Amino acid sequence: MPLARNRRQQRAVDYWPGFVDALSTLLIAIMFILTVFVVGQFILSREISGRDEVLTRLNSQINELTQLLALEKGSNQDLQDSVANLQASLASAEGERTRLQALLSAGAGGQDAAKQQIGTLSQQLDEQKQVSDRALSQVDLLNQQIAALRSQIAAVEAALQASEEKDQTSQTKIADLGRRLNVALAARVQELNRYRSDFFGRLREILSDRENIRVVGDRFVFQSEVLFPSGGADLNPDGQTEMAKLATALLDLSKEIPPEINWVLRVDGHTDNVALSGSGRYRDNWELSSARAISVVKFLISQGVPADRLVAAGFGEFQPIAPGDTPDARATNRRIELKLTEK
């Protein structure tokens, strides 16, 4: 009767570790999604920062070109005013020359003086024409420069618009990438969970209903007494038999898991809280739990399981699943846990 009562108590405490493991898996998935989101935000902030620098440079160039255009327009207006003044002076000189020619035709006495005035006026008129021609040339040159500046401003505005469109496209691509990563992550997690369920289902079938081998959450748990002698890390014959069944199930499952799923079988060693004597092979429970996990991994490798699909870890007495310091609690905490997970 005490043995039956102890077994019922032992089964009654199996739900909480499963809940904790399921919650841990969910938290890891959420942390991964948050990591992807933070990386996406970092890349997006760098892209936006680079676009802001380009936009600032382009706006500065537009301001400089606008100022140059205003200066060129002012110079062009001044030259046009000068040309107008010269043209007015030229018209006045031509009128004076016409008047003098009329006087010359009217009287012979003043012909010599009129000729001298006509010569002077003609020379002044020629000089003003040259100045007017130079001013017109400068006006044409300024008009060409203004047209070139307008072309540059148009090119800069086109580049600015293209940069804004490219920035918008980049933001859309980053958002789409984040969405696809989330979908892919969810699909990978669901697919691995499906294979984990298949794996545990096969282990239940081949390992029968032994009370010292059970499922806790997403882990398959072997009590240490099934696999190892007390205080030792070498698999006993019964332990080798059970691990051979495990290797067969794992090899069959590995043929079905797609190669893109980077799975591993993690072997975790745990001990009770009883300290080891200094005269033994292992100095403390850390070494004992690690040695037992390594022993299981090496045996599975000898059965054909690829070494890159196995991970060994020792936790000593620091991850108990049964509270208290009773013999039953210590026996429950001495265990080997197997977990099918992703690297």
Residue/partner pairs of 305-310 with CB below 8 Å, 24 or more apart: 305/247, 305/250, 305/251, 305/254, 305/265, 306/254, 308/264, 309/250, 309/254, 309/263, 309/264, 309/265, 310/264, 310/265, 310/267
> Is residue 243 included in any domain, yes or no?
yes
> Is residue 36 included in any domain, yes or no?
no
Q: Identify the pLDDT of residue 2.
A: 46
What the block records as the tokens of 36 is: 């992807």
Q: Please name the amino acid found at residue 159.
A: A
Same domain? For 57 and 182 the reply is yes
* Helix, strand, coil fractions of the chain, as percent rounded to 5: 75, 10, 20
Q: What are phi and psi of 141, to 5 degrees?
A: -65, -45
Q: Which of 136, 154, 188 is at the close of a domain?
A: 188
What does the alpha-carbon distance between residue 242 and residue 265 come to, in Å, rounded to a whole number?
16
Q: What are phi and psi of 268, to 5 degrees?
A: -110, 130
> Is residue 1 included in any domain, yes or no?
no
Q: Identify the pLDDT of residue 212.
A: 72
> Is residue 141 included in any domain, yes or no?
yes
User: Tens of pLDDT along 279-297?
Assistant: 778 999 999 999 999 999 9
Q: Please name the amino acid found at residue 276.
A: L
Same domain? For 336 and 296 the reply is yes
Same domain? For 75 and 170 the reply is yes
Q: Are 293 and 268 a contacting pair, CB within 8 Å?
A: yes
> Is residue 336 included in any domain, yes or no?
yes
> Is residue 151 included in any domain, yes or no?
yes
CATH number at residue 267: 3.30.1330.60
Same domain? For 127 and 65 the reply is yes
Same domain? For 173 and 247 the reply is no
Look at phi and psi of residue 43 and say left if phi exceeds 0, alpha if psi is from -120 to 50, else beta. alpha
User: Tens of pLDDT along 1-21?
Assistant: 444 445 544 445 555 666 667
Q: Is the pLDDT at 337 greater than 50, yes or no?
A: yes
Q: Give the three-class secondary structure for 218.
A: coil
Same domain? For 222 and 285 the reply is yes
DSSP string, 222-283: EEHHHHS-TT--SPPHHHHHHHHHHHHHHHHHHTTS-TTS-EEEEEEEE--SPPPPTTSSSS
Q: From edge to edge, which strands make up the β-sheet containing 213-216?
A: 213-216, 219-223, 335-342, 263-270, 310-314
Comparing C-alpha atoms, which of 43, 24, 37 is closest to residue 181? 37
Mean pLDDT along residues 321-332: 93
> Is residue 97 included in any domain, yes or no?
yes
Q: Are 100 and 114 a contacting pair, CB within 8 Å?
A: yes
Q: Identify the pLDDT of residue 28.
A: 80
Percent of all residues in the chain with a pLDDT value above 90, rounded to a whole number: 26
Same domain? For 324 and 245 the reply is yes
Same domain? For 48 and 80 the reply is yes
Sign of CA dihedral 279, 280, 282, 286: negative
> Is residue 10 included in any domain, yes or no?
no
Range of the domain at 241: 207-342
Q: Which of 161, 188, 215 is at the close of a domain?
A: 188
Same domain? For 125 and 161 the reply is yes
Same domain? For 141 and 60 the reply is yes
Better-scored residue on pLDDT, 225 or 87: 225
Confidence of residue 187 (pLDDT cuts 50, 70, 90): low
pTM (two decimals) = 0.47
Instruction: Work out how many domains the chain is built from and give that number.
Output: 2
Same domain? For 54 and 174 the reply is yes
